[in-house]
Amino acid sequence: MASIAAGEIRPVASSVRHERREARTAWLLALPAIILMLLFVLLPIVAVIFLGFTDFELGVGKFRFVGFENYAELFTDRTFRKSLWNTTVYTAIVAPVSILLGLGVAMLIEGEGWGKSFFRTAYFLPVVSLIVAMATVWQYLFHPTIGPLNALLGLAGLPKPNWLGASSTALYSLSIIGVWQTVGFNMVLFLAGLTAIPRELYAAAEIDGAKSSLDRFFLVTWPMLGPTALFVTTISVINAVKTFETVKTLTDGGPNHASEVLLFTIYQEGFVYMKVGYASAMTVVFLAILVVMMFLQYRFLDRRVHYS
């Protein structure tokens, strides 16, 4: 009896020991990642929130705790309000247009057997091209006097806008570049979503009376693409809110703040004027926008999405 009892206890004891050893190994394996996450993600976030309540300026040395003063100032800051508005306009153009074009191109390519890889390459190329470099090319295309775009418009007898140079068109010109740059990315994601739809569903829909391709699109393609569309929307909106490269390279926020976007304003206040406290408050607003975006997407769109 005793020996049996001992035989029963021993594996338990060793499994406890084993579990402890496993947990210790797991901690060791994860430790570098945990340390780096604390150092480069968590700590800076806490610091940015803290700095947002101070008047910290780089090079000044002393700083004061100012409560919500920075946030109050943000509301009356015309540059900041303008840049928030510009970011909204830019996002409201670039996200929907690049999503719809991406979906359209993906469906055309998917439906067409010929030249599949050529078309895919052509539309995807902007995604892997250096943004700053291609922005330079766009600046040439948009050039009011020597640019090919206005030369083309001139041939058609149309007015020639001063694309990036006029405050009425600068933001829209940047939006065109933004769309050009993201359609390919969205297309590839939609293509992956489309190929995952079982062919039989289309046959079944046809038998059920969905005669036109439009019927089949709304009956099969759209609901089956739900998760992809949700994901593409989230990514597109977040990327549009994060736009910076083209603004910095091409317009520097000008003319007269017409193309100043959120990240550019943060960069300008924080790293050019060194007003770290004030820029931190802006960063908190920027982060809040990202959090709200994610939350909205998953709350509202999730319900209408069909998961297979």
Partner 1 sequence: MKTRSRFTLGRLIRLALLIIGAVIFLAPYIFMISAAGKSQDDIFTAALSLIPTHFYYMQNFAKALEKVAMGTLLWNGVVVCALIFVFQVLVAIPCAYAMAKLKFRAARMMMVLVLLGLLVPIHATALPLYVAFDSLSLLNGYTALVAPFTISVFAIFLFLQFFRAMPDDLIHAARLDGMSELGIVSRVIVPNAWPAVTAFAIFSVVAHWNDLYWPLIVISKPGYATPPLGLMNFRAAEAGDDYGALMAATIIITIPLVAAFLLAQKRFVEGITMTGLKG
Instruction: Rank residues 5 and 61 by Cβ distance to partner 1 and give the closer one.
Output: 61
CA distances from 256 to 116, 262, 304 (A): 44, 15, 42
Tokens of 204: 């079944």
CB 75 → partner 1: shortest distance, Å?
A: 20
Instruction: Rank residues 2 and 128 by Cβ distance to partner 1 and give the closer one.
Output: 128
DSSP, res 64: -
Sign of CA dihedral 89, 92, 94, 95: positive
Instruction: Rank residues 13 and 156 by Cβ distance to partner 1 and give the closer one.
Output: 156
Instruction: Say which residues have a Cβ less than 8 Å from residue 30's Cβ, sequence separation at least 6.
Output: none
Nearest to 281 by CA among 270, 295, 294: 270
Instruction: Rank residues 6 and 41 by Cβ distance to partner 1 and give the closer one.
Output: 41
CB 3 → partner 1: shortest distance, Å?
A: 27
CB 248 → partner 1: shortest distance, Å?
A: 7
CA distance 282 to 261: 12
Instruction: Rank residues 170 and 262 by Cβ distance to partner 1 and give the closer one.
Output: 262
CA distance 189 to 102: 9
CB 131 → partner 1: shortest distance, Å?
A: 5
CB 197 → partner 1: shortest distance, Å?
A: 10
